[in-house]
Structure 1
């Protein structure tokens, strides 16, 4: 494997553990951050599932929907029927760089071969209504990077995404979905997807099977794209486009951002040109990308996303917050996001106690997480 700090490596899950992981991430108000905090605190997804109702009640919500066993089993069966697999973070087929972003998905739906295992990955994204020259350039960069052993990651969208995928069929490419792994979008790319899979590439999604993508799901998809890659190449991105969201995620994840300049008269190039003004690396061809990476096959300064393998020695009861601690934390929170470290210092409580209180509030739907390890109170 690459030189990435492999702090999330865990053995493959048993069938029972995979079912419990799926139930936990599909339960109400449980996202990737909450999932990890729950597993790290309680030692296993099974134990965390049992604790959800009590935690939610203490946070102010009397009832919380815990994903039933039958529903999770049905989703696993649907994966089998579709020819997909559900991959947990730390297992071999989980994208190596995605494990080192802030709040990685604990489970991914995966179809296809094993190029996800390869550490040399570059994302290429851009305009859906791309120009002919933009598509040609995307294809050339994709093909040239592929010939150097890079896997190309993109979103299977029209325009630049499709051109990048098509040019990387022989060398390996990954398509990230905004909806369920069985919900193709756009629908006219069925043949392209079939070629990707036939050539050993992959399609991935963090959404439940059968999920139809909504507008807000595409930024989540873009976060996967940048998280899987060492860097992101932006070609013909208009102001406010999804490609700029991908670039923003790349910046947060400490990935390289490469932008192809375009005519200032073409609105499709406004976003990429702005990125260059803000410090993104101007590139003309694949050689510029290769020179910038200089043989590097792992992102620098990966996030520590460790899952603890067992319950803590002090146990849940030993770190059970007092009512006074809850009152102090809740009174310190408001609609303005505050840094988690600042909240811990202010509370004068152990970090473990503060995390439990935040878990209670989040499971009750009262807490919102923000970039930069910040949180705010919804009500």
Structure 2
């Protein structure tokens, strides 16, 4: 079922120093603190991926104070596989640490055939949450998100379903993803009236995709909602990976659905090289600077990182050693990005 499906890592005990260096930030106006870095399982946790590597990534994250693990119903491939993999890691290693973890899942994109396996209906969200819990072997998730806006389903129905999941005890908190500032305010109002405030918003945000700065961050601040930024490295573009062409093991070569040569243009690479020069001056890798640049904003609670190797995760964690920017550095970055 899994690549390299053997079990060499036994008797795991979490590092006693796991909370010594990780920094945490309050999520909106809630009682929840989240680590400045959270681990996403969008890629590299499918059935065809190496289970030992996936397990090592999760353990390394937890050993370094990353307590938040982010999934969705259709992460894989195939759909559901990442939740199954994570559930197995929980059973193998982390079951005794469950109360130290924030585990989230989502529904909103295509999941199963027919008219009830997509978007934002009450039927889809509640059924999907039940399936996710079964795959992970959990009684509840800490956060359950609506994964994307659904223009055809009344917002009251979608938010009502999220509220219902909390009242059923299947989720402790709820969130939304990729909602506009206007729809976020509407959703927040509905959820507050239902008695289940929106904990967190998951928007796409990085140096090359700054739509959240057009009003969403102000709305989140006003509503007391936290934010977890996904795709902080623009699918790997904001790393050293593409400075000298297209590596054979890169996502752009292996999986062109989300990143390909049309995204990595000469103009983009010129900007990346200029940004990399600033990162070098700061004593950081480009990836580290890109993460720090997002976290400079107090409305961002945490940055969601996805990795294929533990060395990448450890490199990302080092970004927290230098989160401050001078006015000159910010001005140079703005000049490049514009």
Tell me which interval the TM-score lies in, with the shorter structure as reference length: 0.3 to 0.5
The alignment's TM-score, normalised by the length of structure 2, stands at 0.35
Tell me which of the two structures has the higher relative contact order, counting C-alpha pairs closer than 8 angstroms and 6 or more residues apart.
1
Q: State which structure, 1 or 2, has the greater radius of gyration over its C-alpha atoms.
A: 1
The alignment's TM-score, normalised by the length of structure 1, stands at 0.32
